[in-house]
Structure 1
């Protein structure tokens, strides 16, 4: 390693890196804020209660970290420091309920490009302090500190992810944010608070190492945090039981999400690697319809297809509830619009789509044709009562009665996929001609089935 006497060797390299970082600080802060916004929106729509924050690393903490790390392995260049420090931009997810950690990890992996993941503690039990395991990515503690107290509790419990923001999630003008790493830290609100206290006490080498009694008190506080997390998990379960048993409406989409998780788990479905979908939109729809209760939603759960990765729970429930009823489609479209443009509160309906700009005319035409098709299915092959079976089931009944040909059966599955994209917000890239052709095909199919069933 070359040493510049004028700059003071390693100190000079660190100073150069810090000066560069100060010039780029606004970039790192904007990058972290962009990641925060994506996580905040996706966690909220999935019904996960969390506080999401972000920050660019403070200059003082960066200097402190670099000096500590250089004591063990001196830096030779600014580039070497850049490769070593991965948390210049950071986002923090503080969970209300630690039991939702798996769901949060799924959302992070769906939202961002995860390059590295780490769990703390990596081995349980670990008789080390959080400083020893570099839990907060700040570097090792002062030599000898950890010999003064044998830790009884596991220390820092969290999951860290080093991620990139996918280009598909960046708006025009944000492309530059896709090339840098963001560190995402996930832990309970209690654990994050303990981590901050522990870090500020342990990583202060100029103030001397902690005494054995101070280490013991930190360990005791960690035990209280672990006990608090257990209590939060029990509180979550108690809340789930209350919501599932009550006839009162869901208070928000978080309660709806917890109800769905609890009920589907009881039915043998695992949502660990699946998704609930746009629970916020479903909740808005249920509220407008006056059916935001467990008793209104539960009858549909047995009808769900269990491939939740391909067809999210909220989307399937909406499809079953909307089937063949134009006024319900109107309500769902309003909920979708309200969720995306809460400040505008635009009242979108099938009729307004038909009367809207040319860009949305094709969407309205397709939805209108689909509603007519579902209305016919209710009359021809629907079950007794209000609930309509999923379309794959109804299509098989049509084929069994020879009301549709094998070719029409196959094409109907493509139409269903197209309909799902349109209703659940994935149609903006569809050419209008494709939707108009699909609407025309649906009208022909509807008339053909009607004539055969007569």
Structure 2
């Protein structure tokens, strides 16, 4: 057997591993994108054994493989995930979600500017938009007019923190993610199968011209999708009726923040689905209910997602609201965000649940006191960093307590937004006790005792 047969045989034995790796990555991305209010169709696959063999034999004719290691370095798409966005204008935000969810090792953007430039300037040859294959005789007779394949590819690993117990081995699998609009993915499938995998002979110049024309229609369709997105944003922004789902809430937030010159290209909206579920339970899933909080957002959106900041402002020292938000967090609609509950896991989680409840009550008591100290008629608190600085300026807390209070705020954010599962219950209980003591100290000083 040659090196190609050896590699294909080994891959066939490992097929289930690569298929599972792709499915895990797909589940994580599907959940994260949907939670952020980004509409997309996410699919996955392990490379077909037959297609892998055909690809290797085709490449071997141009550059002979001498070892299995050489093939391993050349073939990097054994596990693949495809992200087909409804609205191409959300590409930047979707990329941010991908990078926040997976450990991206490499990225590539299409069309490559230099490739498209050569294809437009040369009348004697056409280089395809993907730039990975030599021009064929049919291509030589057609000068490409449109930019071709437009997408972003990422090669990524699944972080250990995203893997469930027993899935550790999938952390070594390199997964290729291909992100483009739904229209571009459809065109790419046709073009790829006809041009790179010809089963019935070489395409004619007229067929290449038709593919180019179809690409132009796809690019026009993407412009129409962007206009459709803007029209939907305008409808949701102007409507007084409740948001129908978290996608409409996300569209409203993007539109309003854009009007405030807030750049979301370096940030994500966060778990908009959880925020929507909370608002729906409170009968507040309307533009008029959310709008007043937008001016109070901090600007460190990269570290504090929009949905998390809005939730923090809305909870505002009210224990019943905190309980409602925690219910929304625990009932998130995406199965990949939840562990399968068992009797054993419930017993194991009991100390953590009790500690979290103790911490939330202590934090609510602190926020209630802060609300009293501000002597404001507003139902919501100003941003917490501002209040902490005011406490320090009024000498109600010491510089050391100010530093520790900011540490507690970070723990509070992890607790409320479901990221405190790695914090020992004893540490959370200690933090709750410290907060209770600080609350008593601040009240005593404020009362002049």
Structure 1 and Structure 2 fold alike (TM over 0.5): yes
Using the alignment, how far apart are the partners of 2:420 and 2:296 within structure 1? 26
State whether structure 2 residue 71 is matched by structure 1 residue 81.
yes
Of the candidates 232, 235, 238, which is equivalent to residue 239 of structure 1? 232
* Counterpart mapping for 1:178-193 below 5 A: 178-193=171-186
Structure 1 stretch 57-66 or stretch 201-210: which is displaced more? 201-210
Structure 1 stretch 21-30 or stretch 87-96: which is displaced more? 21-30
Query: Who is 2:42 aligned against?
Result: 52
* Counterpart mapping for 1:139-158 below 5 A: 140=133, 143-158=136-151
CA 1:448–1:205 in structure 2 vs 1: closer, same or farther (change >3 Å)?
closer
**Any stretches of 5+ residues in structure 2 without a counterpart?**
121-125, 339-345
CA 1:80–1:382 in structure 2 vs 1: closer, same or farther (change >3 Å)?
farther
* Cα contact 2:146–2:216 (8 A) shared by 1: yes
Using the alignment, how far apart are the partners of 2:9 and 2:399 within structure 1? 69
Using the alignment, how far apart are the partners of 1:115 and 1:261 within structure 2? 29
Q: Secondary structure of the equivalent of 2:28?
A: helix
* Cα contact 1:49–1:254 (8 A) shared by 2: yes
Deviation at 1:388, TM superposition (A): 1.3
* Cα contact 2:129–2:149 (8 A) shared by 1: no
Using the alignment, how far apart are the partners of 1:344 and 1:99 within structure 2? 27
Query: Who is 1:68 aligned against?
Result: 58
State whether structure 2 residue 433 is matched by structure 1 residue 440.
yes
State whether structure 2 residue 247 is matched by structure 1 residue 254.
yes
Query: Who is 2:271 aligned against?
Result: 278
**Any stretches of 5+ residues in structure 1 without a counterpart?**
1-6, 346-352
Query: Who is 1:91 aligned against?
Result: 81
Using the alignment, how far apart are the partners of 2:214 and 2:337 within structure 1? 47
* Counterpart mapping for 1:38-437 below 5 A: 38-123=28-113, 125-126=116-117, 128=119, 132-133=127-128, 135=130, 140=133, 143-339=136-332, 357-437=350-430
Q: Secondary structure of the equivalent of 1:187?
A: strand
Deviation at 1:340, TM superposition (A): 6.4
Query: Who is 1:350 aligned against?
Result: none
Using the alignment, how far apart are the partners of 1:402 and 1:235 within structure 2? 54
CA 1:47–1:344 in structure 2 vs 1: closer, same or farther (change >3 Å)?
closer
Query: Who is 2:343 aligned against?
Result: none
Structure 1 stretch 410-419 or stretch 306-315: which is displaced more? 410-419
Query: TM-score w.r.t. structure 2 length?
Result: 0.91
- Two-structure CA RMSD over aligned residues (Å): 2.4
Deviation at 1:95, TM superposition (A): 0.4
Q: Secondary structure of the equivalent of 1:277?
A: coil
